[in-house]
Amino acid sequence: MNLFRLIFVLLSATAIAGTTYVAYLGHGGESRDLDRSIRAVSAGRGLNGSIK
Amino acid sequence: MTTHICCYCGTALDALDSYKTLVKFNILNRPETPLKIGAAGQIFGVDYTVIGLLEHEEVWQGRSWKWVDHQVFSATHGYAWLTLEEGHLTFSRRYRKPVDWLSKTVVNRAETRPSLRSEGERFKYYDTSTSSVTYAEGEFTWAPRKGAKTTTITAMSDNAMLGFSTTNREREIYHTVYLEPQEITGFDLPGAVKPSGIHALKKMKAGVNAGFLMRAGLGSMVICLVLAMAMFVQNGKLADTRLRYSVAELPVTIAFEVTKPGRLTRIDLQGNGRNSWNYLAVELEDPEGEVLFESGRTVEYYSGRDKDGNWSEGSNNASLAFFPPVTGTYSVTLDLEESGFWAPNVNRGSSPQHQITQVGLQIRNGVSSGFWLILLALGFGCIGGLPLLRRYLHNKARWRDSDWVDEDDD
Amino acid sequence: MITCDACTTTLLLEDAGLRLAGEQGVLHEVPLICQLGDELKIGKGRYQILGHARFSYGRGTWDEFWAVDTSGEPVWISVDEGDLILQRELPQKDWPEYRGALRLGRNLRYKAEGFRVDEDGTGTCVGLNGCFGHPLTVGETYRFLNLQGESGTVLSAEIADQEAEWFIGRWIDPFEVEVKTE
C-alpha cells in the first residue's frame, strides 16, 4: 500500500460518501422546468393583490 | 559446432568435415550492428559471447526486410541467438519440449486463427515468412548456405514466441523472448539502443499501480451503482394518503406537510385516459402563500393494434420534484388545463378513445435520487477502464503485424 | 566404482572387495553448469552429483554426470555444449526392438512414439572423477547412438564390444536448472 494508493482510497471514499449524502437528499432528481418567477396566475388564487 | 566462416575471406568451412569449403560470403556486405563478434556480456545473468553474425532477408511482394541474428555461446547454457530488429532485442534458443508441429497445411486450412499449447502456455498463430541468409561470418551450429530458403511459422503467447522453421527437410523449433534493457548487460552495447514502436514480443510494462487503479476504479464504480440503485428505490414517505379526484372536481387545492426541508419532495400524478393527452397544471405555494412555481405535466397514453400486433406508447404517470425551502404547510393546486384526443386513421375499433376522468395524486417527502451517484460511477469507470484500455491497445499493437486473416473478413 | 584422488586410480567396489580398474585420466577445469558434489534442482527432482566423466569424440568433448535422485535411483546427466539430457538406464526387458542395424536417420517406434537416429558416433573416455554406478575405464571407446522422439523423449544407446546399454530421458533447459554447490 503506497502513498498513491492510500490517497486514492481516501479520496474515493470521501467522494462516494459525499455523493451518497447528496443523493440521499434527493439532488439530481429535481425537475428542471419549474418556473420560479411569478407570472400571470392561472387556475389559482393569485397573489392576493400584493406584488413583492 | 559445425561451421566456421572465415572473417577474412568469408568462406564457410565445414568444421566436421575437415573444414571443407561450403560457400563464400562477401565480407564487404557485413551488416551494421552494434554487437560485434567477440563481444561478451550477460543475458538473464548468464555469460554469453557473440561468436557469429548472420543476416537474413525476406522478400515478399516486391518489398524486402533484413535483420541480423547474432550467434551467442555460453559454456554453461549452450548456444542461443540474439536478434536485433529496429532497436528491439530478442533472445532465441532451441526448443526441445514436447509440442505439436505447426505446419503450413494446418495454417492454410484453418478457418480461425490456429493455436497450440505447450508447457501450459497457449500460442496463437502470428505469421509465416520465408527468408534466406544473405551474409554470414563467424561460428555457427549449422551450415548457412547462401540462397537456401527457410520457412518459419511463428506462434505467440503472452510471454514468448515459438518459431517452427523448415529448411529443405530439416525442422527446428525456436523459443524467443523479448529482452528488456535490464536483462542484457555488456556486449559493448552503446548506452541506449532506442527501440522504435512496439515489438510484437514486448510485454506491456504497466505502471506499478495500474492493477490497483483498475480494481479500485471498477470496484468503486460497482459500489456507486449499488448505492444509486438503493437511492432509486428510496421513495421517502407519503405526505398524505393517496388522493383521487374526478376531473369534474378540478381545480383542487391540496395542503400537505413538510417536516424536513432540504429533502426532495415529489408529486406523482396519474391519469386514466386512453389515446388522449392531458395537460395538468400544477401550482405550488409555500407556507407563507408565495407561489413557488407554476408548471404542469402532460399525462398521455396511447395504444392500439396494427398488423404487427399490440402496441402502446406513453405513460399515464407523470411527476415533478422540488426542494421545499422551509418546513410548514404547502399547498398544491391541480387543474386540467388542456386535453385532446389522438386517433389513428385505421383500426378505430381497436383504439378506443377515452377522456381522462380521474386524476390520481400522491406526494412523497424525502425522496432520494441516484443521479449523481451514476455520474460518479461513470467517473470511476473511466479511471478503472483506463488501464484496461491501455492493455487492449498495447495488445492490438503487438498483433498488428500478424498476417492472419479470418476467412470471413475479406 | 570410485576414483581415488590420491593416486588417480579407479577402483571397482565389488562384493569381494576392491579391484583395480584403471587410471583416472585428466579432467581439465572447464566452465560447466555444474560439477562434482553439486546438487541440481530440476523441476520437482533433486539430483546429487556423485560422478563426473568426460568423453571425447575427436574434435571435442562432452561430459556425463552420474547422480542419484531423492529416492536413491541413479540418473545420468549428459552435458554437451550447454545442452542437458537427463536419462535413466533401461532394464534389458524394456529395450527398444528393431530389426537390422541402427544407423543415422533410421526410424524406430518405441512405446507409441516415433524416434529417429540423430547421432551416431564414437566416444572415448578421457577422464573420471567420483563414483559411478557401473564400471568405466579411461581410454575405453564406446559407440553411442542418440535417438530423438517426436514428443521430446531421448533414447540413447551405448555399445562397447558386444555389450549394450540403453537409456531413456529428455532434454533439460539449462535455465530451468538450479545448481547448489557444496
Instruction: Find, among B80, B88, B84, B57, the residue nearest to B150 by Cα.
Output: B57
Instruction: Find, among C80, C86, C70, the residue nearest to C123 by Cα.
Output: C80
Partner-chain contact B368 A9, CB within 8 Å: no
Residue B345 belongs to domain with CATH number: 2.60.120.380
Partner-chain contact B96 C173, CB within 8 Å: yes
CA distances, C147 to each of B38, B225, B301, C63, C152 (Å): 34, 64, 84, 18, 10
Domain-embedded: residue B400: no
- Would you state the cell numbers that stand for residue C127, as one nine-digit string? 577422464
- Would you state the cell numbers that stand for residue A6, as one nine-digit string? 492510500
Domain-embedded: residue B205: no
Count CB neighbours of C43 within 10 A. Answer: 10
What 3-state class would DSSP assign to B175? strand
Q: How far apart are CA B368 and CA B231, in angstroms?
A: 5
Q: How confident is the model at residue A39 (pLDDT cuts 50, 70, 90)?
A: very low
Asked if C82 contacts B75 with a C-beta cutoff of 8 angstroms, the reply is: yes
pTM of the model: 0.71
Above 80 in pLDDT, residue A46?
no
- Would you state the cell numbers that stand for residue C22, as one nine-digit string? 584403471
Q: How confident is the model at residue B42 (pLDDT cuts 50, 70, 90)?
A: very high
Radius of gyration of chain B from its Cα atoms, rounded to whole angstroms? 39
Percentage of chain B surpassing pLDDT 90?
A: 28
Residues B8, B10, B14: CA angle, nearest 5 degrees: 115
Count CB neighbours of C35 within 10 A. Answer: 19
Phi-psi region of B116 (alpha: psi -120 to 50; beta: other; left: phi over 0): beta
Contacts of B322 in chain A (CB under 8 A): 30-31, 34
Above 60 in pLDDT, residue A38?
no
Domain-embedded: residue B374: no
- B interface residues, A as partner, C-beta within 8 Å: 208-209, 212-213, 216, 220, 223-224, 227-228, 231, 234, 251, 253, 262-264, 266, 281, 283, 289-295, 320-323, 333, 335, 337, 366-373, 376, 380
Q: How confident is the model at residue B125 (pLDDT cuts 50, 70, 90)?
A: very high
Give residue limits of the domains in chain C: 2-89+104-176
- For residue B218, the chain A residue with the least C-alpha distance is A12
Measure in Å the smallest separation between the Cα of C132 and chain B Cα atoms: 23
Above 60 in pLDDT, residue B119?
yes
Q: How far apart are CA C174 and CA B252, in angstroms?
A: 92
Partner-chain contact B337 A5, CB within 8 Å: no
Q: What are phi and psi of A46, to 5 degrees?
A: 80, -160
Give residue limits of the domains in chain A: 1-26
Q: How far apart are CA C132 and CA C50, in angstroms?
A: 7
- Which of C31, C82, C151 minimises the CB distance to B79? C82
Domain-embedded: residue B356: yes
Above 70 in pLDDT, residue B7?
no
Partner-chain contact C59 B15, CB within 8 Å: yes
Residues B174 and B92 in one domain: yes
Q: How confident is the model at residue B48 (pLDDT cuts 50, 70, 90)?
A: very high
Residues paired with B184 in a beta bridge: B43
Residues B121 and B23 in one domain: yes
Residues B162 and B42 in one domain: yes
Residues paired with B280 in a beta bridge: B297, B336
- What contacts B32, CB < 8 A, 6 or more positions away? none
Q: What is the pLDDT of residue B191?
A: 63
Q: How far apart are CA B346 and CA B305, in angstroms?
A: 9
What is the pLDDT of chain B when averaged over all its residues? 84
What 3-state class would DSSP assign to B115? strand
Tell me the angle at which helices B210-233 and A3-25 cross, rounded to the nearest 10 degrees: 10
- Please state the domain count of chain B: 2
pLDDT tens digit sequence for B266-323: 999 988 888 888 888 999 998 888 888 888 888 888 887 778 888 888 888 999 999 9
pLDDT tens digit sequence for A4-37: 999 999 999 999 999 999 999 989 888 888 866 5
Contacts of C152 in chain B (CB under 8 A): 96-99
Measure in Å the smallest separation between the Cα of C181 and chain B Cα atoms: 15
Q: How far apart are CA B297 and CA B9, in angstroms?
A: 96
Q: What is the pLDDT of residue C99?
A: 86
CA distances, C106 to each of A48, B110, C94, C97, C117 (Å): 115, 33, 20, 13, 5
- What contacts C112, CB < 8 A, 6 or more positions away? none
Q: What is the mean pLDDT of each run of 10 residues along chain C (182 residues)?
A: 59 50 67 90 92 87 92 92 91 90 89 90 90 84 91 90 90 92 80
Above 90 in pLDDT, residue B50?
yes
The DSSP result for B291-325, as a single string, is EEEEEEEEEEEEEEEETTEEEEEEESEEEEEE--S
Q: What are phi and psi of B215, to 5 degrees?
A: -70, -45
C178 touches chain B (CB under 8 A): no
- Which of B224, B294, B372 minimises the CB distance to A27? B372
Domain-embedded: residue B197: no
Partner-chain contact A27 B209, CB within 8 Å: no
Chains touching chain A, criterion 3+ CB pairs below 8 Å? B
Measure in Å the smallest separation between the Cα of A49 and chain B Cα atoms: 12
| Lookup result for grid cell 495488445 | B395
Contacts of B46 in chain C (CB under 8 A): 175
Radius of gyration of chain A from its Cα atoms, rounded to whole angstroms? 22
The amino acid occupying position C55 is F
Above 60 in pLDDT, residue A42?
no
Residues B318, B322, B327: CA angle, nearest 5 degrees: 130
Contacts of B263 in chain A (CB under 8 A): 25-26
- B interface residues, C as partner, C-beta within 8 Å: 1, 15-16, 44, 46, 73-79, 93-94, 96-99
Above 70 in pLDDT, residue B6?
no
ipTM higher than threshold 0.90 = no
Asked if C110 contacts C155 with a C-beta cutoff of 8 angstroms, the reply is: yes
Residues B308, B309, B311: CA angle, nearest 5 degrees: 105
Tell me what the mean pLDDT of segment B27-55 comes to: 88
Chains touching chain C, criterion 3+ CB pairs below 8 Å? B
| Lookup result for grid cell 470496484 | B219
Q: How far apart are CA B108 and CA B402, in angstroms?
A: 14
Q: How far apart are CA A43 and CA B285, in angstroms?
A: 13
Query: Residue B325 sits in which domain range?
Result: 237-367
Measure in Å the smallest separation between the Cα of C43 and chain B Cα atoms: 12
pLDDT tens digit sequence for C74-114: 999 999 888 899 999 999 999 998 888 888 888 999 999 99
Q: What are phi and psi of B250, to 5 degrees?
A: -75, 150
